[in-house]
Chain A
């Protein structure tokens, strides 16, 4: 597949005089796992905010599935097939795992959920989606557990699952392994690889070793710009990437 699902042109985000994102042209092909990596402060998360609608870009455009979404508010991006996870776990802590996922499924219908005269039990499709996603995440046994009582690793997995409930065309994952223990990371890596089979995934990661194994394309950012883009092997071998990363690691 070579159809482009998400494309940015000259995207920039300035905080005052500081340009966190400084003219990024990015193309995410449908059906691929596309990772954006880079050292701390490279502008990954700012780029992510622009894509999800959390921040309004100062310049440039974002086109998703043929529609210009540059100025679309965040919540309306779900309906057209974009879903995101958060870098810092953001769940409904006091609600059960199943209810978290059911709400995420319900969110795709947007304002249809304003129906205050109907019973939740009547929304069978949402309950079915929640069950299916739980199965996929391996959290079925924890269905009735409050999200806040899950282990950190499980919360990160649920975080990704929340994005999955919208049956999105594009999954935007912001550092899904952040704060995860070394033992949990392979679970997440495996999950993302699995998801990549049915979805287009755009992954923001700090940890380079994870993305090398599962990505189709890797974009390396540094100081708000794209440094290198290519297949994992090419990126791994690139001198500039080594310099950007090793420079940081050595420091």
Chain B
């Protein structure tokens, strides 16, 4: 247990930083809803990071998993009358299954063709949701998505109607996902994923069937992304068609890159930056994505390792100064 608490342990180091951020977010921000939105997108970025930062797999299919999680959990609640936990489990399983399928076919190609395949799946999902308007509400979105109380074995335990209560619920799930993701990255699987990113032919030569590893990365990423999608639908009580659109995939990738690929904490930073910028700038200037574009360019060109990489080198410089 003691080992787990050290900076390299699962519950020490960056996990403590995440815990601190999660506690501070609703206190610093004007609303708990905004804080919840950040945490939900951080979850999606985290899942994208597993693919992009660790596996070196640029997937534009993340929006498909996110949207599928939103729609399927909402439909299960509306038409199936299922509770919160069941709805989330449905999203997780559906996300895992869809992502496994997408991954299975996409990883048959590499490089640009791989990216195009994920993009094609994403577009297919979008038009499927658009076409099935009887179920999804099409362009109007799926309305009246409930946010049931947290219940176990038929007993309502915690009402999540309040913005703060829901924030705590989402934040706890995020913390669980974060610890889980750290374990995944530090596992034989995670280390192999990095090896594949570094040199796939070498990874294959030492005995790994690299396709299996990439596929599992998709499965895990899809499950977490769909969970985030489901939580988002419950947050805004609505599933807009945008949830499954190309722009969603883009946003998730941008958050991951801005925050820093290959760092889990970076995903929280990236999601926070993007959501906050949207929130603050959009009220001042409707053309705010222009600023986002400039920021993205600056970070990609000048800040290798994204915002978190910048923070890390800053900390490094400061501690070195202290020693001097």
A157 to B191, CA, bound (A): 23
Q: Which residues of A approach B to under 8 Å, CB–CB?
A: 52, 73-76, 78-79, 83-84, 86, 90-95, 99, 102-104, 106-121, 123, 162, 165-166
B252 within 8 A of partner (CB)? no
Q: Using A93-B198, A103-B195, A116-B183 as known contacts, say yes or no to A108 and B188 having CB atoms under 8 A apart.
A: no
Residues of A within 8 A of B313 (CB): none
Residues of A within 8 A of B192 (CB): 103, 106, 113
Question: Are B208 and A107 neighbours in the complex by a CB distance under 8 Å?
Answer: yes
A91 touches B195 (CB 8 A): no
Could you tell me which B residues sit within 8 Å of A by CB distance?
183-184, 186-192, 194-195, 198-199, 201-210, 212-213, 216, 220
Nearest Cβ on chain B to A80's Cβ, whole angstroms = 10
Q: Is the CB of B209 within 8 A of A110?
A: yes
- Once the chains are docked, how many angstroms separate the CA of A75 from the CA of B183? 26
Nearest opposing residue in chain B for A118, CB measure? B187
Contact of A107 among B184, B187, B207, B216 (CB under 8 A): B207
| Cβ–Cβ contact A123 & B198, under 8 A | no
Contacting residues, chain A, for B207 (C-beta < 8 A): 75-76, 78-79, 107-110, 166
Q: A90-B201, A115-B188, A119-B183 are in contact. Are A162 and B206 (CB under 8 A)?
A: yes
A95, A111, A165: the one contacting B206 at CB < 8 Å is: A165
Contact in complex: B187, A117 (CB < 8 Å)? yes
12 contacts between A and B (CB under 8 A): A75-B208, A75-B209, A94-B198, A103-B192, A103-B206, A107-B206, A115-B187, A117-B183, A118-B188, A119-B183, A119-B187, A162-B205
Report yes or no: A110 in contact with B208, Cβ–Cβ below 8 A.
yes
Decide: A99 near B191, CB < 8 A? Known: A116-B216, A120-B186: yes
Chain B residues near A112 (CB-CB < 8 A): 188
In the complex formed, the residue of B with least CB distance to A103 is: B195
Q: Which one of A73, A93, A108 contacts B199 once the chains associate, using CB atoms below 8 Å?
A: A93
Residues from chain A with Cβ under 8 Å of B204 in the complex: 74-75
**Contact in complex: B198, A106 (CB < 8 Å):** no
Chain B CB count within 10 A is highest, among A95, A103, A107, A116, for A116
- Chain A, residue nearest B213 (CB): A114
- Report how many A-B pairs have Cβ atoms within 8 Å: 106
A165 contact set on B, CB distance < 8 A: 206
Which residues of the other chain, B, contact A109 by a CB distance below 8 angstroms?
Answer: 207
Partner of A103, one of B186, B203, B209, B212: B203
Complex Cα spacing A205 to B207, Å: 24
Cα separation A109 to B206 with both chains bound (whole Å) = 10
Residue numbers in A under 8 Å from B209 (CB-CB): 73, 75-76, 110-111
Q: Point out the residues of chain B lying under 8 angstroms from A115, CB to CB.
A: 187-189
Are B202's CB and A86's CB within 8 A?
yes
In the bound complex, CA of A168 to CA of B283 (Å): 65
- With a cutoff of 8 Å between Cβ atoms, the chain B residues found around residue A91 in the complex are 199, 202
Contact A114 B189 (CB under 8 A): yes
Q: Which residues of B contact A108 (CB under 8 A)?
A: 206-207
Collect the chain B residues with CB atoms within 8 Å of residue A102's CB: 191
B202 contacts which chain A residues (CB < 8 A)? 86, 90-92, 162
Q: How far is the CB of A6 from chain B (nearest CB, A)?
A: 17
User: Given that A79-B207, A107-B207, A118-B188 are known contacts, is A92 also in contact with B212, CB under 8 Å in the complex?
Assistant: no
Starting from the known contacts A86-B205, A94-B198, A116-B184, 19 additional A-B residue pairs (CB-CB under 8 Å) come to A73-B209, A78-B205, A78-B206, A79-B207, A92-B198, A92-B203, A95-B194, A103-B203, A104-B206, A111-B209, A116-B187, A116-B188, A116-B189, A116-B216, A117-B183, A119-B186, A120-B190, A121-B186, A162-B206
A19 to chain B, nearest CB (A): 25
Q: Chain A residues near B194 (CB, 8 Å)?
A: 92, 95
- What 8 pairs between A and B have smallest CB-CB spacing? A107-B206, A78-B207, A107-B207, A116-B189, A113-B188, A92-B198, A104-B206, A90-B202
Q: Which residues of A contact B188 (CB under 8 A)?
A: 106, 112-116, 118, 120, 123
Within the complex, what minimum Cβ distance (angstroms) separates A235 from chain B?
30
State the CA gap A102–B194 with chains docked (Å): 13
Q: In the bound complex, do residue B213 and residue A84 qualify as a contact, i.e. CB atoms below 8 Å apart?
A: no
Could you tell me if B208 and A84 are in contact, using CB atoms closer than 8 angstroms? no
A95 touches B189 (CB 8 A): no
A162 to B202 CA separation, bound complex (whole angstroms):
9
Bound: A93/B199 CA distance, A: 8
Report B-chain residues with C-beta under 8 Å of the C-beta of A166. Answer: 206-207
Is A111 touching B212 in the complex (CB atoms < 8 A)? yes
